[in-house]
Chains A and B, each alone.
Chain A
Amino acid sequence: AFKAAVLIQQWYRRHVARLEMRRRCTWRIFQSIEYSCEQDQIKLHNFFSYLMDQFTPSSSKERDFISRMFISGESYKEAELEKYCDYESIEVPDSYTGPHLSFPLLPDHATALLEAFQQKQQLHARYVLNLLHETRKHLKQLPNISHVSTCYSEEITVCGDLHGQLDDLFLIFYKNGLPSPSKSYVFNGDFVDRGKQSLEILVILFTFLLIYPKEVHLNRGNHEDHMVNLRYGFTKEVMQKYKVHGKKILRMFQNVFCWLPLATLIDQKVLIIHGGISDTTDLDMLEKIQRNRFVSVLRLKKRKESSGKPQIQAINGESESGTDAAPRLSLQPQSAQAPSTANRREFSRWLRQTVQEQIDTCRRLVDISESEPEELTYSSMVSLKDTDEPCWTRQEEWKQVLDILWSDPMPQEGCRENKVRGGGCYFGPDVTEKFLEKYSLQFLIRSHECKQEGYEFCHSRKVLTIFSASNYYEIGSNRGAYVKLGPDLIPHFVQYQANKTAHLLTMTQRQGFLVALFAKISRVEESAFRALREKLFAHTSALISAFKSYDRDNTGKITLSNWATAVESVLRLGLPWRMLRPQLVRSAKDSMLEYKSWLDDLAMEQRSQEHIQSSLLEVIYRNRSNLETIFRIIDRDHSGLISFEEFQQTWKLFSSHMNIELTDDGINDLVRSIDFNKDGNIDFNEFLEAFRLVRQCP
């Protein structure tokens, strides 16, 4: 009997180990795909660099189109913001059954909102705008770094990324209690994007912020940035939910985001920031800068030639002065004669000049009207006290903010550029050590990275990552967590996992632990592999060339070993391909793979648009995220529609950058075949949806 038991143990251990391996591989897949998406931002920058430096427009129309992409749309001075985004003129009809807000807010308003959102109701635009105005007023008085003490409330609860997952916020409030005079909360950024209820989360958080200003603290995350919102879903969500007033609401959010504090300090001992630090992070500088100047921290890399000249912003990057640029930027170039479009360098110079002129114009306009009484912010008061001028450059200030919001810890020592995300640094345990010592801190709390258990320590427990969005990649992928700190500053964790489709994950006792685990892992795994197969499909041409290089005799087959090497060389995801192979390659005979038919099988899985040339299809799949962002930039009134001409021009520019041939007929085919043409306008949301994998509804 003992022998039998040992055998079973052997078998059991092997199965658990295999599942564990699969679980880790799945995690790897999701992470590498997520980070490679962030690479898209860099690719986008390359596209804009290309337009600026290498592209030769073939017509003045084309030239104007390009310049429109660069020059920021309407921006408003802070005072004008109030006029444009006013709410008082908005009537709330009697037919409205949602919650009503009045100011100052009371706890009852918060509970009403929570109930309303639980029942999927929507807050009226008037109240949203009113709330945003009040929130902005409140945030403006706050310093860049909030100071919290455990003397006031015994325990402080710190939450990480929520990413629009309202269920997780409800779960946190359910388990931990609502914010109150005896319950302090710090929310560490990334409230929006990806999840579909970013708006509701913000409304709830801002409401509690105004009701309990001493107890509720919000930090800015890298997603509290309208450039990121264009890509990751918040912009889309607002426009879908508020068709009439969405644009105003977005403008207000854009402004409110840049007034969010950058960090929170507990008892002068624990620093909470969204991303991390770098070897140049300077808390004194961070306390003094004017944080609202950093509307968006994403922008083009500095060009070597323009050293000494101020940076050219790509799309509504940092606003140069204390307030936003003047309204209604003229689109007519102010230089005398448009250059001959044949000369590439001249075009490039002209473009820079035009953009620079526009910026200068804005600056001048703002300087003149600086005499209007601007409410003094905490940080501007601090700098008034100093007798000398702030001695750091705009560039240095920008780097401080970027590092705080985008950096990630790494196990190796040192500090290097975070090329994966395209912003911030990777900082090592030595950087942490020095930083904590310099400011007499005990440890750092940050978020920004998804962790399987919802939280994770690193750097010898000096850095804590807390992540509050459960099931982030897929249902069952990870837990969320929050951390509680008492006066002893010892962290206590609470984990949770929101599960709507719980019935999928619970199994009866009889079926046993292994089956349940298997089912859970399978589900998440399936999702990961679907995403991976889509990526493989998106690189079909490159893969074929790579495979062919291993198949000199043109047999149509390669070894599985070469398959793995080739795939990594094309996708560069750093994944264990040999481990993943059984799930990706079903049809291998004598360990040789017929690669062409394998790729054909992959293509069939994708929602095939057979009449569209395959190379174009690939480009769309590979660059969907960037295409979406570009369309949103062009669609300045956020209507979801762009004109057919704009659509055409975008494709022309893009295909020239991507080096693919795309004729006018090709573009027309695109438009016609998918039938999303609406009176000469293209609904680009529908267009992009057509190229998404068909997902099984959970």
Chain B
Amino acid sequence: LVAEIEKKITEAFEVFDRESNKTVDVREIGCIVRSLGCFPTEAEVQELLEKIEVEEPGGFVHLEHFLPVMTKVLLDRRFRPIPEDVILHAFEALDENKCGYITKDDLVKHLTEG
């Protein structure tokens, strides 16, 4: 099972590996983690990054460092998906006017006022 998880992680990583040299830009890590089925918050992504060693110049992450951390995340089943009703609830909470949608500005406002 672990081997299979590692293969999956490596595949996802390689899709973002522009130069085929087993490194990706640190800014893509969030994307990779999420495309593997996880729903971390921004804060949680940052936490993860702290666990992974980031090489200074330009901020690159090497597969060697990413793999063990990510494998643990998947094995521990962290950052599970949010159930649909919860999300719906969240939308309803922010949609004060009950118009069925929220704007990007509303979202930003609530995020920055926290």
Which residues of A line the B interface, CB within 8 A?
1-11, 13-14, 16-18, 20-21, 24-25, 28, 411-412, 510, 512, 561, 564, 576-579
Contacts and interface: CB of A to CB of B under 8 A. Distances in A.
A9 B107 contact: yes
Contact of B31 (A8, A21, A28, A564): A21
Interface size bucket, B side? 35 or more
B94 A1 contact: yes
Given A13-B30, A13-B34, A412-B21, A6 B111 contact: yes
Contacts of A21: 12, 15, 31-32, 35
Nearest 3 A-B pairs (CB), nearest first?
A17-B34, A2-B114, A21-B35
B107 A17 contact: no
A564 B21 CA distance: 22
Contact of A10 (B16, B39, B110): B39
Contacts of A510: 101
B111 A2 contact: yes
Of the listed residues B14, B18, B35, the one surrounded by the most CB atoms of chain A closer than 10 A to its CB is: B35
B65 interface: no
Given A13-B42, A17-B35, A8 B91 contact: yes
Interface string B24-61: 00000011111100111110000000000000000000
15 contacts: A1-B110, A2-B110, A3-B90, A4-B110, A5-B107, A6-B41, A6-B114, A7-B90, A9-B41, A10-B40, A17-B32, A18-B35, A561-B4, A576-B11, A577-B11
Contacts of B20: 411-412
B101 A512 contact: yes
A9 B111 contact: yes
B11 A579 contact: yes
Interface of B: 3-4, 7-8, 11-12, 14-16, 18-21, 30-35, 38-42, 81-82, 86-87, 89-91, 93-94, 101-102, 107, 110-111, 113-114
B48 to A, nearest CB: 14
Contacts of A576: 11-12, 14-15
B8 A578 contact: yes
Contacts of A412: 20-21
Contacts of A18: 34-35
A452 to B, nearest CB: 12
A411 B21 contact: yes
B15 A24 contact: yes
A10 B12 contact: no
Given A6-B111, A21-B12, 16 more contacts: A1-B94, A2-B113, A2-B114, A4-B94, A11-B82, A13-B30, A13-B42, A14-B38, A14-B81, A20-B35, A21-B35, A411-B19, A411-B20, A576-B15, A578-B7, A579-B35
A20 B8 CA distance: 17
A5 B34 contact: no
A546 B58 CA distance: 42
Contact of A4 (B14, B42, B90): B90
A28 B30 CA distance: 20
A382 B35 CA distance: 60
